[in-house]
């Protein structure tokens, strides 16, 4: 997983500019991710890459387009010092994994990392370092594994009918 660094207060309009909100399809949003603040991102990001950011990632409007666009672009996970509350909920709901951890000053753009989500360990393979984080609760892990809230609820309903 390759690291892409962004700073503090990255808002949803920076993630996906308003003029591209003509669809909710993650694949159609993906080419426009960070179009105005980092134009090379959408053509350079690879499936499985990770964003590392500072405080308040995802602030701004409450639209789900921002986490959908990141997921459509292939982002495996966003690691930030903190997240805007509604962005956090929207991301989990659509199955985009988030980690709250203060590693911003420890990683660089392009570092290769590996993440053990269950144990709460981020390994920086480039710098040969490890960073700990608090894993998500088991319920949220299950929800993410199933692809988000809607698939999770559908599965739960099937189980109850049995």
Q: All domains of the chain, ordered by start, with CATH?
A: 3-161 (3.20.19.10)
pTM here is: 0.90
What pLDDT band is residue 159 in, cutting at 50, 70 and 90?
A: confident
User: What local confidence, expressed as pLDDT, does residue 150 receive?
Assistant: 75
Q: Encode pLDDT of 77-135 as tens digits.
A: 999 999 999 999 999 989 999 999 999 999 999 999 999 999 999 999 999 999 999 99
What pLDDT band is residue 63 in, cutting at 50, 70 and 90?
A: confident
What is the average per-residue pLDDT within 39-44?
94
What is the average per-residue pLDDT within 124-153?
87
CB-count exposure of residue 119 (10 Å: 0-12, 13-18, 19+)? exposed
Q: How is residue 105 annotated by DSSP?
A: G
């Amino acid at each position: 997983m390759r690291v892409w660094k962004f700073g503090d207060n990255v808002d949803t309009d920076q993630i996906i500019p308003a003029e591209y909100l003509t669809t909710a399809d993650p694949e159609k949003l993906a080419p426009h991710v960070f179009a105005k603040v980092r134009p090379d991102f959408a053509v350079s990001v690879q499936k499985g890459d990770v964003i590392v950011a500072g405080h308040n990632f995802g602030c701004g409007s409450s639209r789900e387009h921002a986490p959908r666009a990141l997921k459509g672009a292939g982002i495996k996970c966003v690691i930030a010092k903190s997240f805007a509350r509604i962005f956090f909920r929207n991301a989990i709901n659509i199955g985009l994994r988030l980690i709250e951890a203060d590693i911003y000053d420890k990683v660089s753009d392009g570092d290769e990392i590996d993440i053990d989500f269950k144990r709460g360990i981020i390994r920086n393979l480039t710098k040969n370092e490890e960073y700990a984080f608090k894993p998500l609760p088991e319920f949220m892990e299950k929800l993410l594994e199933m692809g988000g809230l809607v698939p999770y609820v559908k599965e739960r309903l099937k189980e109850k009918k049995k």
